[in-house]
Structures are given as structure tokens and as C-alpha cells.
Chains A and B, each alone.
Chain A
Amino acid sequence: MKKIDFILTGVGGQGTILASNVLTEVGLALGYDVKKAEVLGMSQRGGTVESHVRWGEKVYSPLIEQGEVDYLLGFEMLEAGRWPLYIKKGAMAIVNRYRIPPPAVNLGKAKYPREEEVESLLKTAAGRVLWIDAMKIAGDLGNPAVVGVILLGVLSLQVGGALDTWLEVVKRLVPAKYQELNEKAFLTGREIVAA
């Protein structure tokens, strides 16, 4: 059983926690040993959020080492751009094409990196960077909160595992009244890459 390490990163309030919970539960359902670690920072909203999710035969550390990440899931461009040192050579980054400027940028004291700059940073290690307009797709589906589930849909095709397993976990972890919406979001995510 091959180990698979994931980092999910974004900004507080974007739904990275739910997505990392789904991913960890899917690993467990697929028969892996799993661990998940989160750093939430001090702020309820607006700070950097990172989750380490690990699947393997036997997982010791909840934290992933530099150069070991198999999949980076970026919910926000700048936050994704911070992780090239953690990405394994030739691994994949899946990034939501969406900007949330931090305070220094809003105050005009720093520049938000251009898409090419983020891509070139990630490409120092990543073999492939998949840009996903997840925020736009979520808007089309009627709820920006499903960004994470769209990205998980994209990821699921790369990682493998039975579709039923993924969907079962997604539906189990979201509120009952949003099950249908999230299922649709997940399947939309899978279709983008297939297309």
C-alpha cells in the first residue's frame, strides 16, 4: 500500500477543514492508516489555514516532511504558492484560481503575485499544476461554499478509489439539506478534468 500525502491550504472560512475531513475519512474507508493535522492560526476568519492529510500502510507523524507531498490542494492562489518546498518532485498541484488579498496588499504595501509567478513557484517541484475555476463553478452551482468539494472531485480522479466511497463520505460529512448540492459539486469537479 503506497503512501499518499496531501496538503490542503487556503484562507479561514473557505472550507478547507471540511475537505480535509472528507479526505481523511475516504482514506480510512479505502483501508489506509490515516492521520490529519491542522493549523488554524488565531483568527476565526481570514488567516492562513493548512491541513496535512496522510494515507499509508502505517502513518507515524501527523505532519508531512518537505519534499513528500503527493497532492497540493490550493483553495487560494497565494496560499498555494507557499508550498513548493513540500511538493514531491513531479507531483501535482490543484489550485483554485481565486485571490483573497492579504492586508498588506489591501493597504498597497505589498503586491499580490501574478498567476504565472505562483505557477512558476509550484513548478520548481510540481510536475503538473491544474488550475480550476472552482469559485466560478461554485457560483454557477449557486453556493460558493462548495469550492472544496469541487476541488475534491478533481482530486478524486487523480487519486483513484471507488466513486461510491468518495460520495458516501462527502454526503455523510455535509449537512443533510446540502447533500444533493455537494454531490453535484463533486461530480462537476470530476467532469472538469475528464473534459
Chain B
Amino acid sequence: MKKLMTGNEAIAYGAYLAGVRVGAAYPGTPSTEIMESFAKYPGVSSEWAPNEKVALDVGTGAAYAGTRALVAMKHVGVNVAADSLFYGVYTGLKGGLVIVTADDPDMHSSQNEQDNRNYARFAKLPMLEPADSEEAKQFVGLALDMSEKFDTPVMLRSVTRLSHSSSPVEMSAAAPPPLPAEPPLYDRNIPKYVMVPAYARQRHPVIEERLKKLAAYADSSPLNRLEPGNGSLGIIAAGVAYQYAREVFPEATFLKLGMVYPLPAKLIREFAARVQTILVVEELDPFFEEQIRLMGIDVRGKDVFPVTGELTPGLVRRYAAEAGLLEETDETTEVTTAAALAALPIRPPMLCPGCGHRGLFHVLREAGVVVLGDIGCYTLGAAPPLSALHTCGCMGASIGVAHGVARAGVKDRTVAVIGDSTFFHSGIHPLINVLYNNSSVTTIITDNSVTAMTGHQQHPGTGITLQGQQTKAVQLEKFVRSIGYEKVDVCDPYDMDNLAEVLTGHLKSEQPSVIIAARPCVLHIREKNKPPFVDPDECTDCGTCLELGCPPLMQEEDHVSIDPLLCNGCGICMQVCPVGAIIRE
């Protein structure tokens, strides 16, 4: 029987079937649903870690103890976890360990589009890349076998178009392998697992030897396959790029790579001997292309396709035609149509109606402060018309950057803004740094009691685990006081007058300080209050409320109106209207 699954669901299913018992992740688009799906299978432990590094250490520990483990993260999460990735390659492990990296070419929901295939070469471990959901399921099992056979963690790469696309998956009638009757003893092996220089020096040659064995395995592995075609063109591709190329070049001969590192050198040479021209179709970096060129084989690749953005079948066709590898298609877009399309107003993402962040950013804009920002829904505070957040680089950067700006000294007043989940992820250390190095940075923790951006995941502050168990909730206020902060206030961002007053007090103070702007995400708790309405006779059409950028507020002929279907009834617009024209019965 076949069932429709997203790539992420299929990865989780494959892990379950292969006997993975321990999973850990931090949410991040497009990887989030992997651990959410895995959490639903019986007999598994599936957790949200505070960040990706912790998740990978948890997975590594489980694998050291002999259990199969799954760790998942988005591409930039691997940057956070990189330290752990590298030691795991040195030590190896006992149970299989699969690390999923879900890359985001075109940055649908990311700050960059780094190509994480480079991590495989950098950290010296094998990487697989499935091309549809069925392969995603199968590759997880193969990766675990490979992990145990070669004594190494294995990375599995996905991209947005795999993680978030659905295709049929064959359901298995077999149950996952049973647990051992008795828990095994921990395998103590100091030279293998203690990476002090003397032992680590012994391990490095093991890794180099292992890579050679993996390359030989790649040559014979069914993960890589040659698909004969007609004609002289040969295409080398993996993952979704393979699917696009398959569609555009139905006649070509293909080398479809399921194992993207190390590459199958012998197979590539055989392939090169069969075709006249080799075209490498890959998104982002020339990862295959450069390695194949180093083998002394001439290929076309990034002279045809861009290094930036994601590919689509349409783009593969267009670039291939421009490079003379395909007949030019006759599709010409009328100039008038293109111009009319470009003139259509865009619909950028924005803060939801009822979002507490809107109140906070209105107050911050009115205060005229520079806001050193972070990653989460509140990053949308940078979007017009609010335009009240001035930096966003990576998870946890806000507080450290604010401290640096304070050290450099600017005339403007500054604050750091960071979400509750992001704070637990990587905001704690920079908050300690502010105290330790004694600057007067004000940190605002926007506490909406959930990891909202990625679709409402629990975190250490919510008191609930991924698998729905009650647990101790870390209290933000108690926590920041416990590390030594004395000036701490908790405010409701719906109450903007109070928030503005508290902010003024903090900005005047020479002490390092924290404001917790607490208001649960309305989408998460499904709260909706009675929508207010605009009295058109009172409305002077001054546009002040429109500057909140709230979707239900609409410009009519000579006044503003509120769409009651979209409105969440938070009342923030009522507070900013200078003439009291927005009223609630």
C-alpha cells in the first residue's frame, strides 16, 4: 500500500522502520516536521533540544550507547552544531547516527542559502541525498547501516523542495527491530572516545582510511545508479535537481547520485567514457563539478546554471537552451503581460492580526531606539510600515551585537530584541556577557510562550515536551534574576502606555536590564476577542493606525475600516487612534 508523505514525514518513517529509538532536533524551516512526525511513533524518544548542538550531542550520546539515533536541523543549524559534528566523526560510535540537514536554496525562510554538502567534505563524513519521499524513507535505513558499518555519523541532505513536497511512499508491513531483552552495558573505550590530542592523533588517520573505503563503497553502492538514454548528453545530478533534469532531458543518459560524498570516482569515469558532453545539474555550489574536474574530467555546470537561488524545471530548461544544450523554446512572454505582472502589488509576510510583537515594535519605533534584532516572527518588525528592527543575522546574535554597539559607543539609544525560544537557543551566553563585561544593554525578551515562527513548537519555557509530557518550565524572570540581573520587568505588549514607560526607565538606567514582553501567540492559544470597528464620521483618515501594518485595517475612500473576519480584537489600533474613532461595543 502506498501513502502520501512529505519528505520530512518519510524521513521520520524511515527512521522508525530502521529501529531508531532516540531523536532530537531544534525546530527550523524546512526541517521542523521531521522530529514532530517521528515523535508520533510508538516506543521512541523524540525531543526538542534547546538548540542544534545540544540535539546533536544527545544523538551522539545515544549512538555511543549503542542505540540508533536521528538528529534533524535546518542548514544553518549545522553551523550551531558543527563542533559536535566534527568530534563525532573522530570518535565514531556504536549505534547508527543520522544527521539530517534540510537546506533552503532560495531562502524561503532563512537568512542565507549555504550549501551544506560542503560540510560532508569539511567534516569528512558520508552524505546521502534522496530525490523523493520513497527514497527519503529508504535512505535513512541505508544511512544507519552505513553509519554502523563504517563507524561514522552519516549526514542526510534534504532541501525545501524535498522536505515540503509530498509523493507516494510504500508502507512496510514489517515491524521495526525489537529492543534487546536487557539494556546493554556501556562500551568503555577511552582511546576511541576521549579526544585529547594524543588519542585524536590516532583517530585522524582512521578517518582518512575510512573515507577511502567509503569512496570504494560509493562505486558499488545501489545509491548511485546509471540510467541509460539515447544520444551523447550525460547528466550528473542528485536530489530534486535530478528530478528537474529528468523532466527537461528525457533522452539523456543519467548518473543519478544518491551518495553525494564521497563521490564514486570509478563510476564517474565509466560514465564519462559513455557520453560526449557531461552536464552537472546542481543547485548552489559547484560541489560535484569541482570534484569531477579534479578527476581530470571536463564537465559543464556553473557556466550554465547560477550559483544562487534554487533551480526549477523551467529554469533548467531556460539556462540549458541559452547554453545551446537544448533547442530554444518558442515561448515569448508579451512585454505588456510581463509589465502588468510586475505592477501587481506584492504580499509580503507580516505580523499576524493580534500579535503582541506589533505593540512592542510600535513602542520601540515611537521611542526612536536602534533595535538589534534576532530570528523569529518578530524579525518582521523590520518590515514597513513598522520598520523598527535594524539587524538580524543569526539565532542569538542580538544581545552580543547590542553589547558590541554599546562598547563602540553611538549617540542613539539601543536595545536587543530576542524571542523566548531563541533566547533558550543561544541568548543565555550573550546575556551573561553583558553582565560580566558590564554594559548597560537593555534586552527585551519577546515571550509568546512558544516557538511560533516554525509552527508552534514547545520549548524549555513552556513546561511541555515534544511528546506531550508535562515538565519543569524554565521561568524567564526567575532565570535572568538568578544570573544576577537586578533591573527586570515583565510587561504586556498590548498595554503600550505601560510598556513605553517601563522602556523609558530602562533606557535611562545605567544598569544592564531585561524587559520580558509577555503575550502568548494568539494563533497558538487560539484567542480571539470581539473586533472593534471604525466610526467613519469620527475617523479623520490620518493614517496613524495604518502605520501599525495590521492586515484587517483597510484604507477606504475617506476613512479606514476593519475587516472583522481578519481582526483578532487585540485593541492595539484603538490605543493609537488620536481621535478615538476606533471603538468596541
Q: Which residues of A contact B (CB under 8 A)?
A: 11, 21, 24-25, 28, 33-48, 59-67, 78-79, 81-82, 84-85, 100-108, 110-113, 117, 121, 124, 144
Q: Once bound together, how far apart are the Cα atoms of A124 and B339, in whole Å?
A: 13
Please encode chain B, from 2 to 40, with 1 for each CB lying within 8 Å of some chain A CB and 0 for all others: 101000000000000000000000000000000000000
Q: A46-B350, A81-B344 are in contact. Are A62 and B165 (CB under 8 A)?
A: yes
User: How near does chain A come to B320, taking the closest CB pair, in angstroms?
Assistant: 13
User: How near does chain A come to B67, taking the closest CB pair, in angstroms?
Assistant: 33
| Interchain CB contact (< 8 A) of A66 among B331, B347, B348 | B331
Q: A35-B165, A59-B167 are in contact. Are A106 and B109 (CB under 8 A)?
A: no
State the 8 A-B residue pairs at the shortest beta-carbon distance, nearest first. A43-B349, A62-B165, A110-B345, A37-B165, A102-B347, A42-B349, A47-B349, A65-B314
User: How near does chain B come to A98, taking the closest CB pair, in angstroms?
Assistant: 11
B313 touches A42 (CB 8 A): no
Q: Once bound together, how far apart are the Cα atoms of A150 and B411, in whole Å?
A: 58
Residue pairs across A and B with Cβ atoms less than 8 A apart, 14 shown, are A35-B166, A36-B167, A37-B165, A37-B166, A39-B160, A40-B164, A42-B109, A46-B350, A63-B314, A84-B337, A106-B546, A107-B385, A108-B543, A124-B334
Q: What would 15 more interface pairs be, CB under 8 Å, given A39-B108, A40-B108, A81-B344? A: A42-B453, A44-B523, A48-B347, A61-B244, A61-B246, A62-B167, A65-B247, A65-B314, A66-B331, A84-B337, A100-B551, A102-B345, A102-B346, A103-B385, A107-B555
A82 touches B341 (CB 8 A): yes
Q: Is B455 an interface residue (CB 8 A)?
A: yes
User: How near does chain B come to A56, taking the closest CB pair, in angstroms?
Assistant: 10
User: How near does chain A come to B477, taking the closest CB pair, in angstroms?
Assistant: 27
B350 touches A65 (CB 8 A): no
User: How near does chain A come to B56, taking the closest CB pair, in angstroms?
Assistant: 26
User: How near does chain B come to A128, taking the closest CB pair, in angstroms?
Assistant: 18
Please encode chain B, from 367 to 391, with 1 for each CB lying within 8 Å of some chain A CB and 0 for all others: 0000000000100100011000000
Q: For A42, A85, A144, which residue has the most chain B Cβ atoms within 10 angstroms?
A: A42
B348 touches A103 (CB 8 A): yes
A61 touches B240 (CB 8 A): yes
Q: Which residues of A contact B400 (CB under 8 A)?
A: none
B166 touches A63 (CB 8 A): no
Q: Which residues of A contact B243 (CB under 8 A)?
A: 60-62
Q: Once bound together, how far apart are the Cα atoms of A4 and B98, in whole Å?
A: 37
Q: Once bound together, how far apart are the Cα atoms of A47 and B523, in whole Å?
A: 15
Q: Is B353 an interface residue (CB 8 A)?
A: yes
| Interchain CB contact (< 8 A) of A85 among B109, B333, B348, B353 | B333
A41 touches B166 (CB 8 A): no
A37 touches B161 (CB 8 A): yes
User: How near does chain A come to B413, taking the closest CB pair, in angstroms?
Assistant: 28
Q: Which residues of B contact A79 (CB under 8 A)?
A: 347
Q: Which residues of B contact A46 (CB under 8 A)?
A: 347, 349-350, 352-353, 551
Q: Is B294 an interface residue (CB 8 A)?
A: no
Within 231-259 of B, Cβ neighbours of A (below 8 Å) are at 240, 243-244, 246-247
Q: Once bound together, how far apart are the Cα atoms of A103 and B164, in whole Å?
A: 27
Which partner residue on chain A sits nearest B167 by CB separation?
A35
Q: Which residues of A contact B506 (CB under 8 A)?
A: none
Q: A42-B380, A44-B452 are in contact. Are A82 and B344 (CB under 8 A)?
A: yes
B164 touches A38 (CB 8 A): yes
Q: Once bound together, how far apart are the Cα atoms of A101 and B166, in whole Å?
A: 31
Q: Is B312 an interface residue (CB 8 A)?
A: yes
